[in-house]
Amino acid sequence: MNNNWRDKLSCNLERVCGKDILGVILSDMDRFESSETGEEASWIREVLKRMEIHLTSAQTAEILSSCACRYPTGKLFQARKAYLKNGSIDDAISELSLQLEDSLREGMLFEQEIVDWILDQGWGVAGKRQGNRILVTKIPKSGNLRQYMSESDHGRQRELYCHCSQVSSAVAANVLIPVEYCHCGAGFYRWIWETILERPVSVEILDTVCSGGDRCSFAILLPGSIE
């Protein structure tokens, strides 16, 4: 079990629902200490069932989205700076896209042809704007990206794709995790755009590995007054 994620889950459950509900939801929190067997995926499924019983859907989304990994603060500062220059969402998206391109080319040493192909897929943090929505599709986990692109087995590709170790172990063990779990992945984008805009945003889950998909896609719903 990813102890950092487990600790964030505990803290956010207590913040949103209080200690009594925390005790009910995570009554067996210390049950698993590793991710070797996929048993943790079964435990997460049980936890989500308890959350469905005891919490509202809004509470579940708030808790799980607050457990998300965070995009580097320095890169977010640059994206916010680009946004503030002209008050343009598109400028912020362009900055995020440049950051991805630089990471692929300079950090991961991909050839420009492959970088262009990845960007054409619409993968990565920047996404593509459609009116008051930004549609994003997660890029395969960076540490697995080269292997993912050369892998011919569909099931193995799905295992390599997700950034979340809990989901990867679940796919490997053929254990289904409810799609609600992916509010955690949605929270990654919520944090990005709430930091850039300094305003609340909502993120809708479109498709995920947990729902049986091959990709994880989300829609960031922008505030109505944003240009």
pLDDT digits (tens, 9 = 90+) for 125-137: 999 999 999 999 9
Counted domains in the chain: 2
* Same domain membership, residue 90 and residue 155: yes
* Same domain membership, residue 145 and residue 52: no
Most confident of 5-9, 59-63, 146-150: 59-63
CA 43 to chain centre: 20
* Same domain membership, residue 41 and residue 103: no
* Same domain membership, residue 105 and residue 195: yes
Q: Which residue has the tokens 């499924």?
A: 45
- Report the mean per-residue pLDDT for the chain: 90
**Domain that residue 101 falls in:** 73-221
Over range 186-202, report the average pLDDT: 95
Whether 18 is in a domain gets the answer yes
Query: Which tokens belong to 36?
Result: 């070797």
Whether 227 is in a domain gets the answer no
Whether 226 is in a domain gets the answer no
Which one of 43, 65, 87 terminates a domain? 65
CB-CB contact of 217 with 137 (8 Å): yes
* Same domain membership, residue 57 and residue 80: no
* Same domain membership, residue 85 and residue 32: no
Give the residue with greater pLDDT, 208 vs 42. 208
pLDDT of residue 49: 94
Which one of 44, 65, 86 terminates a domain? 65
Per-residue pLDDT tens digits for 21-76:
999 999 887 665 554 556 778 888 899 999 999 999 999 999 999 999 999 999 99
* Same domain membership, residue 88 and residue 60: no
* Same domain membership, residue 214 and residue 106: yes
Whether 120 is in a domain gets the answer yes
Query: Which tokens belong to 215?
Result: 């990709």
Which one of 42, 65, 88 terminates a domain? 65
Segment holding 220, helix H or strand E: strand 217-221
Per-residue pLDDT tens digits for 62-92:
999 999 999 999 999 999 999 999 999 999 9
Helix (H/G/I), strand (E/B), else coil: 23 = helix
- pLDDT tops 80 at residue 179: yes
* Same domain membership, residue 29 and residue 133: no
CB-CB contact of 192 with 76 (8 Å): yes
Q: Order across the sheet with 133-137: list the strands.
A: 128-130, 133-137, 217-221, 202-207
* Same domain membership, residue 87 and residue 29: no
Q: Is the pTM of this model over 0.85?
A: yes
Whether 25 is in a domain gets the answer yes
* Same domain membership, residue 44 and residue 78: no
* Same domain membership, residue 93 and residue 39: no
pLDDT of residue 33: 56
